[in-house]
Amino acid sequence: MLTVVWSLAAFVVTLGILVTFHEFGHFWVARRCGVKVLTFSVGFGKPLWQRQAADGTVYQIGAIPLGGYVRMLDGRVDEVPEHQRHLSFNAKSVPQRAAIIAAGPLANFILAIVVLWVMFLLGVQSVKPIIGDVREQSIASQASIPVPSEIIAVDGRRTEDWQQVNLAFASALGQQQVTLTLQDERLRERDYVLDIADWRLSDQQTPTFVDLGLQPYQQRVSLVLSYVAEESPAAQADLRVGDKIVEFDGTPVVDWSQTRQLIMSSAGQQVILSVERNGQLLALPVTIGSRELEQESIGFLGVEPTVAPYPEEYRFVQQYGFIDGLIKGTERTWELIVLSVKMLGKLVTGVVSVSNLSGPVAIAEGAGTSASYGLVYFLGFLALISVNLGVINLVPLPVLDGGHLVFLAVEGVRGKPVSERVQEVFYRIGGALIFALMAIAISNDILRLSQ
């Protein structure tokens, strides 16, 4: 329950920040173009807070935190007195109206740059993209990739961490092949080509490199116990720190993953654990504990294995100075914009399935998870969503900013506005498409939660 509340709170904060900046972009440029702004609202519905400024603009926060709007004086919907006609939106030139509309998405891009700039100023704890294993029968397994090795470039694009590797593979989706430049333990570089002609993203929102079969390096986990909880099934069976599990009820165990699975599947059962202690082999009878998890009994023992420390040479901090951080933030924002546009194109062409769309539930989960990791990770997530919001709003669909820009472009060419009847038809079509996509995204969220 606490996780749900935390995710919901992070989602509201994220959406509030994004909407505020988006609408402020429209607001700021409208004011600079001499348009009278009637209302600046973050959220819809009944106002929870409202204040009218001296210039007559009403600032408010709505009860439904799922968007926002800037209401401008407009002769097409308002009764505009003659002396205020020059202050209305529709009285402005096509370039001025286009600037006002485009300012919302542009504000989201600027927000992403600033947020990433701050993130790089603070410093991001990262790990190098070291391949620890390659899954059998995967696309990557066909390329004979050495383990361990570091991914230093994907299709010639330098990669410093796993996030950049993930984005680079996403960008390559739909190609016939992708080239990995790897560096082995002897610092030798070599290119490896992956055949990705038949590769499609999974519906589980796993990272792209995992889809391809690449497993990041993980600390070695031994079967030697580093912790035994008091009054646990393990403690009652006289298991001790330093014991090494050798067999589970007659089954030899080779790693902790296998042992953990055996424990979880033996809820309430009495088994014999063979452990090595001070050079001696002991057979200890243990009654595995039982816990209810999602209407299923899960076994537990009350122990933790010994985990080797993560190699310090694999860790690094992405931190830059005032100017370099701004340059890096701008570069990363541009990379995200390009990737977002490419992914939209692949969605339209069918390279990416609509089953990969995510809705508000997935965004809330992402916001909550990133916020729980710390400020810098939340900032990275905020920048990603801000870029996506800006790009989506530029899609040439009526009801979106991109659709309005298309109507203005037609007006600029024809010399007169598109008729209201034609606009109404396209608004209905655009609204239906947006509603359908949102319904699919929410359905995908529900399906992922039920799995």
Rounded to whole angstroms, the Cα distance separating 145 from 130 reads 12
Which tokens in the block code for residue 317?
């901090």
Helix (H) or strand (E) holding 285: strand 280-287
Q: Three-state SS for 39?
A: strand
Using alpha carbons, list the distances in angstroms from residue 71 to 17, 27, 151, 429. 19, 9, 50, 23
Beta bridge partners of 125: 317
Contact predicate 370/348, CB 8 Å? no
Using alpha carbons, list the distances in angstroms from residue 59 to 33, 55, 64, 89. 19, 11, 15, 19
Rounded to whole angstroms, the Cα distance separating 219 from 211 reads 21
Residue 231 is among the residues annotated as catalytic for this protein: no
The HSE-up count of residue 84 (CA atoms within 13 Å, CB side) is 14
Q: Which of 23, 304, 312, 331 is catalytic?
A: 23
Could you please report the per-residue DSSP string of 130-194? EEEEE-TTSTGGGGT--SSEEEEEETTEE--SHHHHHHHHHHHTTSSEEEEEEE-TT--EEEEEE
Helix (H) or strand (E) holding 298: strand 297-300
- Could you tell me what percentage of the chain is helix, strand and coil, using 3-state DSSP and rounding each to the nearest 5? 45, 25, 30
Spatial neighbors of 408 by CB under 8 A, at least 6 apart, are 94, 97, 98, 101
Beta bridge partners of 193: 179
Beta bridge partners of 245: 275
The HSE-up count of residue 424 (CA atoms within 13 Å, CB side) is 3
Give the residue carrying structure tokens 């990995």: 180
Quick one: CA torsion of 201, 207, 212, 213, rounded to 10 degrees? -140
Q: Which residues are catalytic?
A: 23
